[in-house]
Amino acid sequence: MSQLPAWQRAVCYEVYVPSFCRARGAGAGPGLAAAGGRLPGDLEGVRSRLDHLAWLGVDVIWLTPFYPSPMADFGYDVADYCDVNPAFGTLEDFDRLLDDAHRRGMRVIADWVPNHTSDQHPWFLEARSSRAAPKRDWYVWRDGSPERPPNNWTAAFTGGPAWTWDEATGQWYLHLFLPEQPDLNWANPEVEEAMFDVVRFWLDRGLDGFRLDVIHGIGKDPALPDAPEDLARIPWSSQNDYQGTHDILRRLRRLVDSYPDERFLVGEVYLLSTAKVARYYGRGDELHLAFNFPPLYAPWEAAAWRRRIQRVEEEMGPIDAWPTWVLSNHDNPRHRTRYGGSEARARAAAVLLLTLRGTPFLYQGEELGLLDAVIPDDRVVDPGGRDGCRAPVPWEASAGHGWAGVDQVEPWLPWPPESDTRNASVLRADASSILHLYQRLIDLRRSSPALRSGRWEELDAPPDVLAYQRVSGDDRRVVIVNFGDERAEVALAGGLTVQVASDGQGEGAPYAGSVGPSAAAVLG
Ligand code: NOJ
């Protein structure tokens, strides 16, 4: 089989750094001021759990922002792109983590946040200091009266205007997100130069690529026209789709491709249309991969998923845009929670995620079947309401769940439900657990050309069931996902054996023609 590029054969895993694990105790580095001084995870904590990721079969680890930041948006407000937040460790910790991951055959990518900086970034502090400041034009300023923002765009998380009036210099500045996250002005070539230097800084250190935050947002129509009336109340970060962004992406792609060893870019293109997302692959000269979120927002229903998958096949297939699949991330309730809470559904969803055509992205803790944490009012910290899915990952059954220092200072968010029994160590000891299901699926995917790169073809099935096959040469795997609550009969051409079943039933046995309620299986 011809070798696929690294980003196409990978199983990727999102590490949300503040919530993954802490290895240095309570005394090492500050807690999170934004969370009452409580403890976040750290880079050493990530390093201490690499064996878990290697055992699971992860190829690529995506680290969310670990840069110095006032944490107004928990790291997506960067105050220095080329250093490590002392709450998470040091540059040396980063180097050690990267080395150890590479030694285990895993690659590491990190968030690059190009649309906006923190309002505490020295660039913005200078820009804000006076209208004549050399970096004034690195951000988006407009004249006007303090009563009326320059256009009708709304900011994410606040729902208020995407503009803040700067009293001292008498102009508005643009922020698609919080006022603490002023947008950079990518029309100014100095901004591109500075941000490309950041890319070089990390690639030179050996990083394998980037996850690009709200990448579709960076180019802006210089006229900054009003949003159409029906969209005016939707955050403009989810609408901005300006042509000029593609020119920047082509230059960025050339820069990344000039490095050896298949470095790559996966872009967060938060446009809720697969056809629009597909354009960000360019002609193979823009993003290597882009997140496509409509499936993440699909309900747990066979018909909805059939439509979403067909869309991907129709709108990405013809232009050779290699799809990605995501069920959970740090911005949305976990899929087990969204799908009603049953572990059976979470298991069936794992079969779906890991057998579709494209690169899957797991979110930390989904391999444990975690539910969102319930956050009491006095522990809410995120203005965007995303604390539940960001609960710390429980590693051990013991009181601190494998996090150093939390016997003295609480973790920055409460633990998720059932942490005493639903943690990595207990589930690892149980071969029938959801954790082992993820491991078996990833293993099967690695050994099967059909599952890794084969075409996707739908098969006939009852209404609540999605059945498809993946085919590459002689390798053919059939996948049945029963979204319904009743056992379903599925007639298939004979001779198939159950390879992985979400409920562990019948593995290794010839397929008998039906699949249980909320269950799924891979046959071959
Ligand atoms: C998308 C990130 O995933 C989210 O967490 C963040 O708040 C926004 N971009 C703004 O950077």
pLDDT band at 232 (very low <50, low <70, confident <90, very high): confident
The identity of residue 365, as a single letter, is: G
Determine what percent of the chain is predicted with pLDDT higher than 70: 100
71 pocket-lining for ligand 1 (C-beta < 6 Å): no
- Of 64, 76, 174, the one to substitute when testing ligand 1's pocket (max ligand atoms within 8 A of C-beta) is 76
Q: Of 139, 174, 209, which residue sits at a domain end?
A: 174
**What average pLDDT score do residues 275-299 get?**
97
Burial of 243-264, coded b for 16+ CB within 10 Å and e otherwise, reads: eebbebbeebbeebeebeebbb
Probe residue for ligand 1, chosen from 15, 19, 69, 73 as the CB with the greatest number of ligand atoms within 8 Å:
73
The Å distance, Cα 419 to ligand 1 centre, comes to 27
Calculate how far, in angstroms, residue 69's C-alpha sits from the geometric centre of ligand 1: 14
Q: How far is it, in rounded angstroms, from Cα 306 to Cα 130? A: 55
pLDDT above 80 for 103:
yes
In a domain, 101, yes or no: no
b (16+ CB within 10 A) / e for 46-64: bbbbbebbbebbbbbbbbb
Ligand 1 atom nearest to 113, measured from its CA: 11
The CATH number of the domain holding residue 150 is 3.90.400.10
Listed residues 174, 202, 218: the one ending a domain: 174
The pLDDT of residue 279: 97
Average pLDDT of the chain to the nearest whole number: 97
pLDDT at 322 over 80: yes
Report yes or no on 136 lying in a domain: yes
Q: What is the mean pLDDT of residues 71-76?
A: 97
Q: What is the mean pLDDT of residues 465-487?
A: 98
Phi, psi of 362 (to 5 degrees): -90, 150
Q: Give the integer Cα–Cα distance in Å for 224 and 241.
A: 12
Contacts of 478 (CB under 8 A, 6+ apart): 459, 467, 468, 469, 492, 496, 522, 523, 524
Measured by CA distance, the residue closest to atom 8 of ligand 1 is 76
238: left (phi over 0), alpha (psi -120 to 50) or beta: alpha
CATH number at residue 502: 2.60.40.1180
Q: Is residue 478 assigned to a domain?
A: yes
- Using only the alpha carbons of the chain, give its radius of gyration: 23
- The count of other CB atoms within 10 Å of the CB of residue 89 is 25
pLDDT at 224: 95
Using a 6 Å cutoff on CB, does residue 213 contact ligand 1?
yes
Confidence at residue 301, expressed as pLDDT on a 0 to 100 scale: 98
Residue 508 belongs to a domain: yes
Q: Give the atom of ligand 1 at the shortest distance from the alpha carbon of 386.
A: 5
**Across 257-271, average pLDDT:** 97
Our count of domains for the chain comes to 2
For 110-126, write each residue's pLDDT tens digit.
999 999 999 999 999 99
CB burial of residue 2 (10 Å; 0-12, 13-18, 19+): exposed
**Residue position matching structure tokens 């750094």:** 17
Banded model confidence at residue 494, pLDDT cuts 50, 70, 90: confident
pLDDT (tens digit per residue) in 198-212: 999 999 999 999 999
Among 154, 174, 194, residue at a domain's last position? 174
Residue 353 lies in a domain: no
pTM over 0.95: yes
Q: Is the dihedral of CA 119, 291, 234, 246 positive or negative?
A: positive
Q: Region 408-414: what's the mean pLDDT?
A: 96
CA–CA gap between residue 313 and residue 269 (Å, rounded): 18
State the pLDDT confidence band at 1, using cuts at 50, 70 and 90: very low
- Range of the structural domain that residue 496 is part of: 454-523
Q: Note the pLDDT tens digit of each residue in 240-258.
A: 999 999 999 999 999 999 9
CA nearest 21: which of 402, 412, 410?
Answer: 402
The reply to whether 435 falls in a domain is: no
The pLDDT value recorded for residue 258 is 98
Q: Which residue has the higher pLDDT, 467 or 493?
A: 467
pLDDT at 347 over 90: yes
Over residues 355-385, the pLDDT tens digits come to 999 999 999 999 999 999 999 999 999 999 9
- pLDDT level of residue 2 (50, 70, 90 thresholds): low
| Structural domain contains residue 501 | yes
pLDDT value of residue 29: 87
Tokens of 444: 């099967």
Cα 238 to ligand 1 centre (Å): 11
Q: Which of 176, 238, 331 to mutate to test the pocket of ligand 1 (most atoms within 8 A of CB)?
A: 331
Residues annotated as catalytic (active site), given as ranges: 213, 268
Please indicate, yes or no, if residue 285 is contained in any of the structural domains.
no
